[in-house]
Structure 1
Amino acid sequence: MKCINCGTDNNLKDRTANQGRCTKCQHPFVFEPTSMGNVKITDPMFAKAIADISTNNTLFFTPKQLYYLLDNRIKFKTASIFGYIFIYVLFNIFISLLIGEFTLALLGSYSSLIISLIVNICFIYYFYTKSKSSKINIKYRQKYAKSLQIIGCIILAIGIYNSLLTFNSFSLFLIVVIMGMLSIYLGTRQLSRSGLLTQEFLFSQSQFQDWLKRWQEINNSNLKLLPAPRAENTLTKVNPDVTAYSFDRLIVCDSAVIAQLLIANNFHFENNCAILGINGYPQSIFDTTMQMLRRNPDLQVYALHDCSPQGIGLVHRLRTSPKWFKDSDVVVIDIGLTPRQIIATKRGMFIQSSPDSAQAAKELAGEIRQGLSTEEIEFLELGKFVELESFTPQKLIQVLQRGIAGSSNLQGDDSNLILVGDPGNDMYAVQSFG
């Protein structure tokens, strides 16, 4: 493992003999991958994750965003479909012949054939299990699903030939057809739904917090890591000259964490908009900012939220709360994240599920449920949810910028918006999340 301080490559023997320090510069290593079990992390890997999440230390990020990125990096593998099929063919040839020889006395002349059928069943089961595993990401679930399709074609081609011409057995013909078609069906089915399957983290958030704390203690690096947002009850005095102006756009986030992230990265300055959290973040300027916003008759409001029952209710809350825009004709645009966007794109978002989320979905107000399709309601009632923090800061900023740019022409043919709810309510939703 290379030392991130001086670049010296230290093998396990060097690290052990030097009490976990670099042999050249004596800089301590944070991670020892050989003692971490199934989760292997190195210091260069962690440093690369930090550099990527912050876009080379130019963007602020939250601890959870780094948590998501690191989990995805650990799940990443280099195996290919060709590799899977090669192993499958190799096992079929050698295992069938090798074990077939040992079982010849027990199973007779059909021993190799029977062993081959068992091997194929085992591979189909293994690839199918992997294709729906919550411990791997969508790319590799899709690879296993495609491998199932290819295996099915191989079974049909070779199996039908041998059953009819070599063994002349109609029973064997039926078996290989069923096996082959089943493998193709399972692979096709998993490909169509792999983007909507849930995922799990490979390590706990408390583990990650321990790693991050140790990293900061040892490397004393100036990370653009955001702390938890704090409620500030003290009102900030704003220059009266400033309050005479307003904003044309407002972004409302369902969490203070995302609002803080956007503000820290100067999104409000660069895009001439106000940014607030639905619970009043930042409290010190919330009332003043709302007074400024209400002066603008052409104000457009953008809702940015998790794909969760609480997040889905953000637009409804903006429309019905006196604190926000009740009885107002302000235009509200739902940037996302919505189940509609996830179902439509199937790009491998990190979908989680929980019983609490499923219960909250069943308790959604009727007005909110009316704006959702049957498929979206089913998605939420299964307890599925996606957090905005599963996206990098750069991705969130890009999505927002595209959403704002795409709303410049609400009624245009090229608009990425759809009208939701009753006509005339000035509520729109972005069709795709970036």
Structure 2
Amino acid sequence: MKCINCGTDNNLKDRTANQGRCKQCNHPFAFEPTTMGNLKITDPMFAKILADISVKNTLYFTPKQLLYFLDSRIRKKGFQTVGFIGLYLFFNIWVTGFVGGFTSAFLPNSFLIANLVYQAGTIFYLFKNTTSSKLNNASRKASARTLQVVGLVILILGILVSLALGSFPVFTVVVILGMLSIYLGTRQLGKVGNLPQEFIVTQSYIDGWLETWQSINGKIDKVLPAPQEKIAPTSINPDVTAYSFDRLVVCDSANIAQLLIANNFHFENNCAILSINGYPQSIFETTMEMLRRNPNLQVFALHDCSPKGVSLLHRLRTSENWFLNSDVTIIDVGLLPRQILANKRGIFVQNVAALAKRSTELPLEIRQTLSKEELAWLDAGNFVELESFSPQMLIKVLRSGISGSLNLASDDSSFMLVGDGGNDIYMVESFG
């Protein structure tokens, strides 16, 4: 492992002999990959992850975003079709020869039986991979495609062997196994895209690693602390409060609002940023007074894809603290279930049983805005957090939403009008 301080390569013997320090400059290592089990985090890897998520230390990020980002990097080393096929062919011969030879003394046709059992076990293993919550979408799709390849191999080689043996029962078995493998692979390819996932690491690990890293390498300026509530109002120059904003971004969490503010999104896009619960509390009332002065105000809703998230627009339309009895234009940037279901690149979907009940209890006004497919997805307990996207991605999507809102009435617009007469409500068709 290379030292991030001087670049010297230290093997395990060097690190052990120097009590976890670099043999050249004596700089401590934050990670020892040989003691981390299946996780192999190194100092250079962690440093690169910090640089990438912050875009070379230019963007702030939350600890949970770091959790998603690091988890994604680890999963990229998941299942690979080419490597597996090589092992599959090798063990195809080895298992047949070794196990078949071992059982030949007491089991008739032992070599053939050993091979068929191996084929069945391989199909089962690959199918389990396509449903595994510990693999990313790319690995699950690779497993599904490998099922198809294995099915073809079983059919071609199996039929040739059955013909050589002149055995119709063997022919039948290999055709069943081969077609089953091809069928399962083809079926799973269309299902793996948005299956729920589980974290390989936990937030407590990330918090501990951040603490260790900063104690050794200094404070990470771009990692955000938990949002602080300041109830006491902040005094604002009257000359400033005389103006208003053209746009307002409302987030369903203070974490996302803080993230956007920390990255100066409000300055660069002439918009106010608030959370639905009133963050930042110290300027909330003053900001709302300023916003209500603008008859052409546009409101952009940014939220998780969850029962609470899809309720955000309803709260904005029906709360006296927001835009009850107002004709303000509201644009739902997302996340929406339709955006998740339409995404082909794979999104980190989670599943919690408690959210299924919460989804079914949503007010009728909210459920009527969602399709049957979207309701089925939410009612199953699925959800996606905004923090599963990098800061750069969130900023890009929100900027795109604001830019597109300049041409809402155009036939080429990517916004869908779902207003009910009280407000003009628009929904963005895709998220990034």
TM-score (norm 2): 0.96
Residue matched to 2:194: 196
Residue matched to 1:350: 348
For structure 1, the residue ranges without an aligned partner over 5 or more in a row are none
2:332 is paired with a residue of what secondary structure? strand
Check the 8 A contact 2:299/2:329 in 1, yes or no: yes
Q: 1:392 aligns with which of 377, 390, 393?
A: 390
Check the 8 A contact 2:327/2:422 in 1, yes or no: no
Residue matched to 1:162: 161
Amino acid at match of 2:130: S
CA distance in 2 between partners of 1:98 and 1:35 (Å)? 34
Residue matched to 1:245: 243
Give aligned-pair identity as a percent. Answer: 62
Q: 1:407 aligns with which of 405, 408, 416?
A: 405
Check the 8 A contact 1:407/1:416 in 2, yes or no: no
Residue matched to 2:429: 431
Amino acid at match of 2:385: E
Instruction: Mark the CA change 1:6 to 1:221 in structure 2 (over 3 Å): closer, same or farther.
Output: farther
Q: In the TM superposition, what whole-angstrom CA distance separates every residue of 1:24-65 from its partner, at most 9, and x where no partner exists?
A: 111111111111111121111111111011100000111111
Check the 8 A contact 1:370/1:421 in 2, yes or no: no
CA distance in 1 between partners of 2:253 and 2:57 (Å)? 24
Confirm or deny that 1:312 pairs with 2:307: no
Instruction: Mark the CA change 1:79 to 1:354 in structure 2 (over 3 Å): closer, same or farther.
Output: closer
Residue matched to 1:282: 280
- The total of aligned residue pairs comes to 432
CA distance in 1 between partners of 2:222 and 2:165 (Å)? 68
Instruction: Mark the CA change 1:26 to 1:178 in structure 2 (over 3 Å): closer, same or farther.
Output: same
Question: Which residues in structure 2 correspond to 1:322-337 (within 5 Å)?
Answer: 322-337=320-335
Q: 1:235 aligns with which of 227, 233, 236?
A: 233
Give the CA deviation at 1:425: 4.0
CA distance in 2 between partners of 1:89 and 1:134 (Å)? 27
CA distance in 2 between partners of 1:79 and 1:231 (Å)? 44
Residue matched to 2:64: 64
Q: Which moved more, 1:423-432 or 1:396-405?
A: 423-432
Residue matched to 1:19: 19
CA distance in 1 between partners of 2:184 and 2:325 (Å)? 52
Q: In the TM superposition, what whole-angstrom CA distance separates every residue of 1:41-95 from its partner, at most 9, and x where no partner exists?
A: 1111111111011100000111111111111212221753122112212221232
2:135 is paired with a residue of what secondary structure? coil
Q: In the TM superposition, what whole-angstrom CA distance separates every residue of 1:383-424 from its partner, at most 9, and x where no partner exists?
A: 111111111100000011111112221122221111235467
Give the CA deviation at 1:214: 1.1
Amino acid at match of 1:273: C
Check the 8 A contact 2:78/2:136 in 1, yes or no: no
CA distance in 2 between partners of 1:153 and 1:417 (Å)? 45
Amino acid at match of 2:253: S
Residue matched to 2:8: 8
CA distance in 2 between partners of 1:392 and 1:133 (Å)? 24
Check the 8 A contact 2:101/2:110 in 1, yes or no: yes
Give the CA deviation at 1:113: 2.0
Give the CA deviation at 1:148: 0.5
Give the CA deviation at 1:304: 0.3
CA distance in 2 between partners of 1:417 and 1:242 (Å)? 33
Confirm or deny that 1:48 pairs with 2:31: no
Check the 8 A contact 1:361/1:380 in 2, yes or no: yes
Amino acid at match of 1:22: C
2:300 is paired with a residue of what secondary structure? strand
Check the 8 A contact 1:371/1:421 in 2, yes or no: no
Amino acid at match of 2:146: S
Amino acid at match of 2:17: A
Question: Which residues in structure 2 correspond to 1:64-213 (within 5 Å)?
Answer: 64-77=64-77, 80-108=80-108, 110-163=109-162, 165-213=163-211
1:429 is paired with a residue of what secondary structure? strand
Amino acid at match of 2:175: V
Q: 2:375 aligns with which of 374, 377, 390?
A: 377
1:213 is paired with a residue of what secondary structure? helix
CA distance in 1 between partners of 2:171 and 2:332 (Å)? 55
1:285 is paired with a residue of what secondary structure? helix
Q: Which moved more, 1:412-421 or 1:317-326?
A: 412-421
Residue matched to 1:261: 259
Q: Which moved more, 1:416-425 or 1:318-327?
A: 416-425
Q: 2:365 aligns with which of 340, 364, 367?
A: 367
Q: 1:272 aligns with which of 270, 273, 280?
A: 270
Q: In the TM superposition, what whole-angstrom CA distance separates every residue of 1:264-304 from its partner, at most 9, and x where no partner exists?
A: 10001111111111011111111111111111111111100
Q: In the TM superposition, what whole-angstrom CA distance separates every residue of 1:133-168 from its partner, at most 9, and x where no partner exists?
A: 1112111111111101111122222223433x2233
Give the CA deviation at 1:183: 1.0
1:250 is paired with a residue of what secondary structure? strand
